Amino acid sequence: MKKITALVLAALMLFALAACGNSNTPSDGSAEAVDAVTPAEGEVFTVGVCQLVQHPALDAATQGFIDVLQETFGEGNVVVDVQNASGDSANCATICSGFVAENVDLILANATPALQAAAAATNTIPVLGTSITEYGVALEIADFNGTVGGNVSGTSDLAPLDQQAAMVTELFPEAKNVGILYCSGEPNSVYQAEVVKAELEKAGVNVSVYTFADSNDVASVAGQACDENDVLYIPTDNTAANCAEAINNVAQPAGVPIIAGEEGLCSGCGVATLSINYYELGRTTGEMAVQILNGESNVSDMAIEYYPNPAKKYDAERCAALNITVPDDYAPIDAE
């Protein structure tokens, strides 16, 4: 009898231990789950990524996002479907509609047209933007307070525009005429251009704005801008970044330096930038996605996050070719 009782007690103890081992509740009784980052058995998260176009900045943001998801959940527990819109807003709409039809768990919209398409395609599936300069402008939100609400949140690639404008006068104090060049189809570029123009004009600089519609007229517009100015400024602009080589082929032979809104663009045609790290921005967006997928945070309550430490960088080869002396607080852009 004692032997039977002992066996029963042992079985009960093993059962209790197994139950404790499978519990997601901490020993202090709090609601936070110990294994919150692990999907339920057999569960696989599906995430759709709509990227406007391939260029180094957007590619880096997408990679940072994916790396966080795979590091957190494990590659077998998350499927990331990356689709590139080849710079076409209509393609963004098609891609996002496809993600909605597939009922993905979350959509990453990389660049403004992708965010606009995702927001139009669904009001239920969580949407995170990245590489978005200004969410209020992108989504036409009056008096934007930092939180989109609804099913949208994300990260911004906006670097301090007043500091970017100050780089122009710091590096080129003798410049009298500065041209601002951007794609007319990118509303965030319009916003950046207006802010930088106002800052430069406060510093006594004559500013002219030049816009191109797409890659077909970028070289001719850039040529006009170079002919009429001492320095050019190009904001964070996906079309410009995709056409950086064409812009450089005009500006460098003309001897006209370009201050760029972000590092990838600067590598393609600029001499200096105050830029963020797009890979780290993507990782921040990935961390937001983890919180949403785990049910730890509601996307509607999540404020837009910004890169905290933009850095002054320069393209060493292009600066040498144009005989530009760069201050000591600028770091060279790493050669890839």
Q: pLDDT, tens digit, for every residue of 174-184?
A: 999 999 999 99
- 89-102 helix and 112-121 helix, angle to the nearest 10 degrees: 40
Q: Give the CB-side neighbour count of residue 158, counting CA atoms within 13 A.
A: 26
Question: Do the first three CATH levels of 45-157+278-303 and 161-275+311-332 match, i.e. the same topology?
Answer: yes
> Concatenated DSSP letters for 271-305?
SEEEE--HHHHHHHHHHHHHHHHTTSS-GGGPPPE
Degrees, nearest 5: CA angle 191-166-319: 105
- 161-171 helix and 187-202 helix, angle to the nearest 10 degrees: 50
Predicted confidence (pLDDT) at residue 24 exceeds the cutoff of 50:
no
The larger pLDDT score, comparing residue 287 to residue 19, is at: 287
pLDDT of amino acid 47: 98
List all residues 6 or more positions away from 77 whose beta carbon is below 8 Å from its beta carbon: 38, 39, 43, 44, 45
Residue with tokens 């009960």: 12
Closest CA relative to residue 234, chosen from 198, 267, 265: 265
- The correct CATH number of 45-157+278-303 out of 3.60.21.10, 3.40.720.10, 3.30.450.40, 3.40.50.2300 is 3.40.50.2300
Residue 275 — pLDDT band, cuts 50, 70, 90?
Answer: confident
Pairing verdict, β 272-275 and 311-314: antiparallel
Sheet holding 231-234: strands in order across?
206-212, 177-183, 231-234, 258-260, 272-275, 311-314, 331-332
DSSP, res 124: S
Look up residue 122 and give its amino acid: T
Predicted confidence (pLDDT) at residue 4 exceeds the cutoff of 80:
no
Pairing verdict, β 258-260 and 272-275: parallel
Rounded-to-integer distance, Cα 64 and Cα 279, Å: 5
Rounded-to-integer distance, Cα 288 and Cα 332, Å: 31
Instruction: Tell me which fold the domain 161-275+311-332 belongs to.
Output: Rossmann fold (3.40.50)
Cα distances (Å, whole numbers) of residue 91 to 94, 95, 102, 118, 129? 5, 6, 17, 11, 17
Residue 319 — pLDDT band, cuts 50, 70, 90?
Answer: very high
Residue 10's CB: how many other CB atoms inside 10 A?
A: 10
Look up residue 25 and give its amino acid: T
Predicted confidence (pLDDT) at residue 32 exceeds the cutoff of 80:
no
Q: State phi, psi for 150 to the nearest 5 degrees.
A: 65, -130
Give burial (CB, 10 Å; 0-12/13-18/19+) of 182.
buried
Averaged over 290-305, what is the pLDDT? 97
pTM assigned to the model: 0.77
List all residues 6 or more positions away from 121 whose beta carbon is below 8 Å from its beta carbon: 93, 96, 97, 99, 100
Residue 187 — pLDDT band, cuts 50, 70, 90?
Answer: confident
| pLDDT tens for each residue of 91-107 | 999 999 999 999 999 99
pLDDT of amino acid 216: 92
Mean pLDDT of the chain: 88
Listed by start position, the domains of the chain span 45-157+278-303, 161-275+311-332
Predicted confidence (pLDDT) at residue 16 exceeds the cutoff of 50:
no
Predicted confidence (pLDDT) at residue 281 exceeds the cutoff of 60:
yes
pLDDT of amino acid 185: 87
Residue 292 — pLDDT band, cuts 50, 70, 90?
Answer: very high
